[in-house]
Amino acid sequence: MERLRTLLKKIDGRGYKAYKELKGSYQFNGYKLTFDHIQGDPFAQPSRISIHVSSSVAPLAPEFCAGKIRKTAAEDFLARAVAKAIRAHVKGHRGIGKSGEIRIETSGQQILIRNSVLIDSEGIEARLTVGLPAAGRTIMAREVEEMFFRELPEVVLHGLYFENLDKDSFQRHVESAEDQHSLRGLLLPNNLAAFVADNSLLPRQSGIDDRPLKEKVIPFVAPDSLACTLVLPNRGKVRGMGIPRGVTLIVGGGFHGKSTLLHALERGIYNHIPGDGRELVATDPTAVKVRAEDNRVVSNIDISPFIDRLPFDRNTTGFSTENASGSTSQAANIIEALEDDAALLLIDEDTSATNFMIRDERMQRLVVREKEPITPFLFRVREMYYDLGVSTILVMGGSGDYFAVSDTVIMMDSYRPEDVTLKAHGLVDREQVPEKLSDLPPIVRKSERRPDAGRLNPARGKKDVYIETRGIDTILYGQHEIDLNKVEQLIDIGQTRAIGLIIHYYARNYAERAENIKEGLTLALKDVEEKGLDILSPWKTGTLALPRLHEVAAAINRMRAEG
């Protein structure tokens, strides 16, 4: 502690690079501070520090972090507590560039596996970034001293010491996460694809603000015909709407809550923080949101179950393009989801290619089947459930064609769900849509693809490994720029950073010896889950969050065949 103070006095007023002399560890009262990386410029990425609080000094109540799910929730709670303490006790900007900034990476409304706070038997480690202050390129040691000797101790005291935390909130946090995880595990045994608890609050602030809407919100209440009660380890009995496996339609007028419900189901693969309103919305953990994605790269995908007989005999069993259409991209997205073992597809009519979803009777009479290469999803959705066990939840507002192939129809009326299955079935001839077209290739879960080594090469220019992110939607990987803008269940930039690193880890360890992309990524992600996110990075960082297999595969699938 005093050694750090002495060093600061020594470098005060010198050039910015003298900050490098601070590299190392320092013992403070109750915790150890380590400078893991020191920035070379006030405008560069901030310095990285880690704080270790020994379990002998500030022990956690063991029941708060017992088991994987509770431990992840406890780490999430502590990261948020540190962020709150930073807002309360850190002055912030002082000097030029990022001077004076202290930050910790946290999640939004979801609870993710991260490496910004880690709990083990020895204690708690928190990883932060710090902008070391400078006036021009001159070190401002007095400002640094204030940050590390006055502000940071307060952050540690109020963010990492269990005795100073809100115990009731902490308990709610870990118990809520445990309940959500348990709820997701109850879906399959109860033949459910998803569950939405009564009194859930689904609307969000806006399309770009995932926080709950606070005013004029109608609580969700399950219709009696779809209601079921499940028992959770902490909350006990919970009543809500169970969406059965099979083909489910969500219908209703515009602005009545159809897409809001589907969006909640998209995020139901994650645990949410207490107060989010969607804590008890649970979706099959393999669920994939599928949409049209014009202009995406497609590499060697068998889309023939949906698109064949293209003009000029163009091959669709190993379809590749740099610029997919709406229909070919949506077909590719479904086949890729099946490769990833998705058991549930989530589809919104508004983000789908119309010609991929339906083709009405009059159009079929005008454009005969022999001249139409697209087999609409309508004709294969039941087959996917019967043959593969893949359920579909589909928002449909403009066509009743899907009534004939549906198992369940839910109508949203002013954000209130109604079971209108019998009424919808009474409007159609349930035999009018063929359940299987014998002349089409079968839909199967083929997992034969394995990306070539050239595509996974991370080198760029003079760098053997070049992996960067531009926001949540873009990864720069070697010569590739990977666009993930339409991968809608990717929710955190920490996941995006991890995806690039996981691809590199997969390329080094499993790409050549695994039978296919799914098997290789499964092995890579198993390593990460067992050994931690730190195995991915050559240096200590606290900026990573764990993605699902599907989102990692989606990034590889959107890379060009050659770099």
Q: pLDDT (tens digit, 0 to 9) for every residue of the chain, 563 residues total?
A: 789 999 999 999 999 999 999 999 999 999 999 999 999 989 999 999 999 999 988 889 999 999 999 999 999 999 999 999 999 999 988 888 888 999 999 999 999 999 999 999 999 999 999 999 999 889 899 999 999 999 999 999 999 999 999 999 999 999 999 999 999 999 999 999 999 999 999 999 998 899 999 888 999 999 999 999 999 999 999 999 999 999 999 999 988 999 999 999 999 999 999 999 999 999 999 999 999 999 999 999 999 999 987 665 678 898 999 999 999 999 999 999 999 999 999 999 999 999 899 876 665 655 546 556 888 999 999 999 999 999 999 999 878 889 999 999 999 999 999 999 999 999 987 766 554 566 778 888 877 788 887 789 999 999 999 999 999 999 999 999 999 999 999 999 999 999 999 999 999 999 999 999 999 999 999 999 999 999 999 999 999 999 999 999 999 999 987 54
Instruction: Please tell me whether residue 348 adopts helix, strand or coil conformation.
Output: strand
Q: How many separate helices (H) and strands (E) can be counted in the chain?
A: 14, 27
Q: Which amino acid is at 153?
A: P
H or E element that contains 391: strand 391-395
The tokens describing 299, both together, are 């590499």
Instruction: Report whether 119 contacts 71 (CB < 8 A).
Output: yes
CA angle centred on 265, ends 210 and 386, rounded to 5°: 160
Cβ-contact 244, 407 below 8 angstroms? yes
* Class of CATH domain 244-446: alpha beta
pTM over 0.85: yes
User: 319: which 2 tokens?
Assistant: 């379809």
455 is written with which tokens?
């595509």
Whether 190 and 277 have beta carbons less than 8 Å apart is answered as no
Contact predicate 540/50, CB 8 Å: yes
Radius of gyration of the chain (CA): 26
Cα-flanking dihedrals φ and ψ of residue 321, to 5°?
-160, 150
* C-alpha span between 80 and 295 (Å, rounded): 38
Please tell me the predicted confidence (pLDDT) of residue 374: 86
Distance in angstroms (rounded) separating the CA atoms of residues 475 and 125: 28
**Assigned token pair, 318:** 């190993």
* Amino acid in the structure at residue 531: K
Distance CA(237)–CA(437), nearest Å, equals: 44
For residue 493, give the nearest of 542, 550, 557 by alpha carbon.
542
Six token digits for residue 4: 């750090």
- SS3 of residue 117 by DSSP: strand
Identify which of 111, 122, 240 has the alpha carbon closest to the alpha carbon of residue 183. Answer: 240
Which residues of the chain are in CATH 3.40.50 domains? 244-446
Query: Residue 370: how many CB atoms within 10 A of its CB?
Result: 7
Structure-token match 């079968």, residue found: 442
Closest by CA to 147, choosing from 91, 80, 96, is 91
Longest dimension (CA), the chain: 86
Per-position b or e across 302-311, b if 16+ CB within 10 A of its CB: bbbbbbbeee
Closest listed residue to residue 356, CA positions, set 320, 305, 405, 300: 305
